[in-house]
Amino acid sequence: MADAPTVPRRRQLPLTWLGLAPFVIFAVLFLIWPTMHIVIGAFQTRDGSFTLQNLRDLNTGTIPSSYWVSIKISAASAALGCLVGFGMAAAVTFGAVPRWIRSPLMTFSGVASNFAGVPLAFAFLATFGPIGLVTVFLRQNFGIVLSRDLGFNILSFWGLTITYLFFQIPLMILVITPALEGLKREWREAAEVLGATTAQYWRMVALPILFPSILGTFALLFANAFGAVATAMALTGSSLNIVPIQLFAQIRGDVLGNPNLGYAMAFGMILVTAVANVLYIWLRVRAERWLK
């Protein structure tokens, strides 16, 4: 008796992959596709032909100084964010701060780390602007003029840096808290048995172990600040020479009116943030090996 013919089975896509379809579609439409358009446009002229002139023009005019100012603002906000955020995270994890503060702090950090753009710029202008609440309060009650007596202007280098701290500090808290919790109690007990003080434990044991995590988070915060566009534009307008503002002016058609030069500037920003993110990922992998 002949065997019954076998019916070929159709390969079906697992239904679990359907849940990833919206994410893949959004990633392609709003991340990969625009990024490729920027990269390709950086090497094109207005008529679509290949050129390297756009990259050469990055070394002309005020573009190099705008990159340098953006790098300094990003580094300053990242350093201050790491310092303050580490102190707050350590206080909640190891300090005498009540445990009930931890949950509200982590919740606020999750919200504040994503609070940027026009709302953040408006909040700081309404607080520290020329007619902001703090500015008017100090002038009317103490005769202190921020711009004259303290040299502080919200539309300046330090003004934008302080504004960035609103989302840099919460991001540092979110990233460094798991690393702090990964420090084993046995390490501290062993250090105390050997006669080490608290300062010696942190200097010789805890900080060397946490150093890759701290440095990696600094790289992440640097990339986060360097790529911030909406906050800087809404807060300072054209009063501060940074890359996002010049980039917007180029693509919109102001100044030289060369959109492809704007693509080249955006390509440069992509390279800087990519290097920072790769450094963060590499250092985080190294830190996780220590904390396992």
Q: What is the pLDDT of residues 201-257, one digit of tens each?
A: 999 988 988 998 999 999 999 999 998 888 888 888 777 888 888 887 777 665 556
Assess whether pLDDT exceeds 70 at residue 8: no
pLDDT confidence of residue 291: 63
Assess whether pLDDT exceeds 60 at residue 118: yes
Which residues face 44 on adjacent strands?
50
Displacement of CA 261 from its chain's centroid (Å): 24
Q: Which residue has the higher pLDDT, 70 or 230?
A: 70
Task: Please state, in angstroms and as integers, the Cα–Cα distance from residue 184 to each residue in 40, 179, 202, 215, following that order.
Answer: 49, 10, 13, 20
pLDDT confidence of residue 215: 92
- Say which residues have a Cβ less than 8 Å from residue 43's Cβ, sequence separation at least 6: 50, 51, 52, 54, 55
The whole-number average pLDDT for the span 129-133 is 88
Q: How far apart are CA 162 and CA 155, in angstroms?
A: 11
pLDDT confidence of residue 13: 58
**Considering the entire predicted model, what is its pTM?**
0.86
CA triplet 248, 253, 259: central angle to 5 degrees?
75
* Helix or strand run (H / E) with residue 242: none
Q: Give the confidence band of 153 by pLDDT, cuts at 50, 70, 90.
A: confident
The whole-number average pLDDT for the span 33-44 is 92
The whole-number average pLDDT for the span 97-105 is 86
Q: Give the confidence band of 11 by pLDDT, cuts at 50, 70, 90.
A: low
pLDDT confidence of residue 12: 59
pLDDT confidence of residue 5: 59
Radius of gyration of the chain (CA): 25
Set out the domains of the chain in order of their start, with CATH numbers: 23-118+153-291 (1.10.3720.10)
Q: Give the confidence band of 109 by pLDDT, cuts at 50, 70, 90.
A: very high
Q: How far apart are CA 162 and CA 253, in angstroms?
A: 30
pLDDT confidence of residue 94: 87
Q: In terms of residues, how long is the chain?
A: 292
Assess whether pLDDT exceeds 90 at residue 176: yes
Alpha helices in 94-206 (DSSP H): 102-112, 118-128, 133-142, 157-181, 185-193, 198-201
Q: How far apart are CA 215 and CA 79, in angstroms?
A: 10
Task: Please state, in angstroms and as integers, the Cα–Cα distance from residue 55 to each residue in 49, 246, 263, 264, following that order.
Answer: 14, 15, 9, 6
- Of 18-22, 123-127, 254-258, 261-265, the range with the lowest mean pLDDT is 254-258
Q: Give the confidence band of 89 by pLDDT, cuts at 50, 70, 90.
A: very high
Residue 127: count other Cβ atoms within 10 Å of its Cβ: 14
pLDDT confidence of residue 7: 55
Burial class (CB in 10 A: 0-12, 13-18, 19+), 40: middle
CB 229 within 8 A of CB 27: no
Q: How far apart are CA 198 and CA 188, in angstroms?
A: 9
pLDDT confidence of residue 245: 83
